[in-house]
Amino acid sequence: MEGFTVVDAVVAVVIVLSALLAYSRGLVRELMAIAGWVAATVLAFIFADQIQPMIRSLPVVGDFIGDSCELSIIAAFAAVFAVALLVVSLFTPLFSSVIQRSRLGGLDQALGFLFGVARGLLLVAVCFFLYDTVLSAQDIAMIDDSRAARVFGQFTGELEEQDPEAALGWVTTQYEQLVGECGTPAEPVEADLPPSDEGPTLDEIDEQQQ
């Protein structure tokens, strides 16, 4: 077909695969998967500092991390995230299968198909946005001449208007907050000294005599 490139074919395949995958899994399972990622991230952010000593005590991991506080925090974050995501993934299919076996199964799959199409479109739009921002100095004719580039060009412009640098700054702030304790030196504790029993000094005696 005239005007279509390999990029258009790849875009179509990505959208179709995303839609079919979401159709087979259903909307409930897709939403629970997203909620699981969010919950795992929150739990990892909360408990990473508490799991850090345990990570340091592991034989192989502890030797690899060494004395690096940031590496130990990142490893603890990854460990908590993986465990939380694994636990959520065990319960997600059980709950979603109950929905699909009920009368809402057809509706769940239909909504899942629409969700998959929207997810595929969003993924493609983000890819074009990264191409326009990161590889702006390079002109790839196969991408620039594709119909998908013209279709998603408007969406890419809207993303640029939303100030993506602010989102990147937010991510950087969260990372600095996560490893912030590594750069905070321990404050010395001042001991409560008992009051001195020594008598008045020579200067105090001279002042009293005057």
What is the pLDDT, as a whole number, of residue 95? 82
C-alpha torsion angle, residues 15, 16, 19, 24 (rounded to 10): -150
Residue 17 has pLDDT above 90, yes or no: yes
Q: Specify the residue for token string 């409560």.
A: 192
| Per-residue pLDDT reduced to its tens digit, 56-97 | 787 776 777 767 777 888 888 888 999 999 988 888 888 888
5 and 145 Cβ atoms separated by less than 8 Å: yes
What is the pLDDT, as a whole number, of residue 97? 83
110, 93, 81: which is closest to 20 by C-alpha?
A: 110
What is the pLDDT, as a whole number, of residue 50? 85
Domain boundaries, the chain: 6-162
The pLDDT of 89-117, averaged and rounded, is 87
Diameter of the chain by CA atoms? 112
| DSSP H stretches of helix in 26-104 | 27-57, 59-65, 69-101
What is the pLDDT, as a whole number, of residue 188? 46
Q: Specify the residue for token string 């020594």.
A: 198
pLDDT bucket at 48, cuts 50 / 70 / 90? confident
For the ranges 108-112, 157-161, 172-176, 182-186, which has the lowest average pLDDT? 182-186
What is the pLDDT, as a whole number, of residue 191? 47
Distance CA 200, CA 205 (A): 7
Region of 188 (left: φ > 0; alpha: ψ -120 to 50; beta: rest) is beta
147 and 3 Cβ atoms separated by less than 8 Å: yes
Q: What percent of the chain is modeled with pLDDT above 70?
A: 71
